[in-house]
Amino acid sequence: MERLKGKNVLITGASSGIGQAVAVRFAKEGANIAINYYRGAEGAEATRQQAAAARQSEGRQVVMQADVSDETQVKAMFDSFINEFGSIDVLINNAGIQKPSHSHEMSTADFDRILGVNLRGPFLCAREALGYFLKQGRGGAIINNSSVHEIIPKPKYLSYSITKGGLENLTRTLALEYAGQGIRVNSVAPGAIVTPINLAWINDEKARAGVESHIPMGRAGASEEIAAVFAFLASDEASYITGQTIFACGGLTLFPEFRSAWASGE
Ligand code: NAD
């Protein structure tokens, strides 16, 4: 199935985890992809090689280094992208970071950095992509990587929660503003996924069992399961969907504590 054949796609933070899986899946579905990374050139190169191996037909995959929170670097990245591919069809705002800290002790620098990467970055990249979409005159798609923490508060991760809540409004506002120009803007909100961002528990049997005990489906998700949702939203099969967040979380947002009717005494 090559639902993305010939589409030119920029994926931010694609040197590991979900971004890497999205890059591989998109290449498999026929897209030309730019693999953005900030640190870890080896990871980006590994993504490029995996994407090349996954292809079923002709297509290109290039690596582009840039800090998505930096306006100058983002503009330069889009210039390189257009030089390389000629036009852009899809932007995947995937890059994201988090750092635990009690909110009353969080440094301003950490707060600003997390907002910079997770919220300013998607704005800067969306602004560039929208400019090209409008100039090209054939629409386009933006898909943001949000989180279940778009709606579930995450104590000790205040700035992360703020950014994911903010992404919901970025998604809905841009979707409404540009719906008339054939531009769709959506988000995917993963639950607990096995990626490097979760090194604190993925390789620790006890900690992982603790995390998974909260998930109605009883297990953490795989990056490939999230990449599949991105591929759907980027494809023409989602041609009438805009302004939405699709939660791919094994049921985490279903108030799992209510699995038994404890509040009614049954
Ligand atoms: P990850 O740490 O493997 O991926 C994060 C990526 O962002 C890395 O490739 C990193 O290099 C890149 N990045 C960091 N700072 C950057 C910057 N300034 N500029 C460009 N790239 C930068 O973890 P992941 O789980 O794959 O995270 C990807 C996205 O998925 C994030 O937005 C995260 O919030 C979201 N998410 C992950 C989970 C999960 O459980 N893994 C759940 C919900 C949402």
Give the pLDDT confidence of 59-109 residue by residue, as tens digits.
999 999 999 999 999 999 999 999 999 999 999 999 999 999 999 999 999
Whole-number Å distance between alpha carbons of 6 and 16: 24
Whether the CB of 160 sits within 6 Å of ligand 1: no
With a threshold of 0.95, does the pTM exceed it?
A: yes
- Contacts of residues 210-216 at CB distance under 8 Å and 24 or more positions apart, as own/partner, are 214/252, 214/256, 215/191, 215/249, 215/250, 215/251, 215/252, 215/256, 216/250, 216/251, 216/252, 216/254, 216/256, 216/259
Whole-number Å distance between alpha carbons of 102 and 115: 17
Tell me if 113 sits within 8 A of 162, measured CB to CB: no
Amino acid identity, position 13: G
Question: Is 38 a catalytic site residue?
Answer: no
pLDDT score for 260 = 83
For atom 2 of ligand 1, the residue with the nearest CA is 197
Residues of the chain with pLDDT under 70: 265-266
Ligand 1 geometric centre to CA of 264 (Å): 40
Ligand 1 geometric centre to CA of 259 (Å): 31
Cite the DSSP H helix spans in the chain: 17-28, 41-54, 71-85, 108-115, 121-136, 158-178, 199-202, 205-212, 223-234
pLDDT score for 265 = 65
Atom of ligand 1 nearest to the CA of 198: 41
For atom 19 of ligand 1, the residue with the nearest CA is 67
Whether the CB of 67 sits within 6 Å of ligand 1: yes
Structure tokens at 138: 């054939």
Whole-number Å distance between alpha carbons of 109 and 166: 19
For atom 30 of ligand 1, the residue with the nearest CA is 145
Whether the CB of 247 sits within 6 Å of ligand 1: no
For atom 18 of ligand 1, the residue with the nearest CA is 67
Whole-number Å distance between alpha carbons of 27 and 236: 16
Domain 8-248 class in CATH? alpha beta
Whole-number Å distance between alpha carbons of 170 and 134: 18
Whether the CB of 194 sits within 6 Å of ligand 1: no
Which residues on neighbouring strands pair with residue 257, listed in sequence order?
Answer: none
pLDDT score for 266 = 59
> 3-class DSSP state for residue 94?
coil
Ligand 1 geometric centre to CA of 262 (Å): 36
Give the pLDDT confidence of 104-135 residue by residue, as tens digits.
999 999 999 999 999 999 999 999 999 999 99
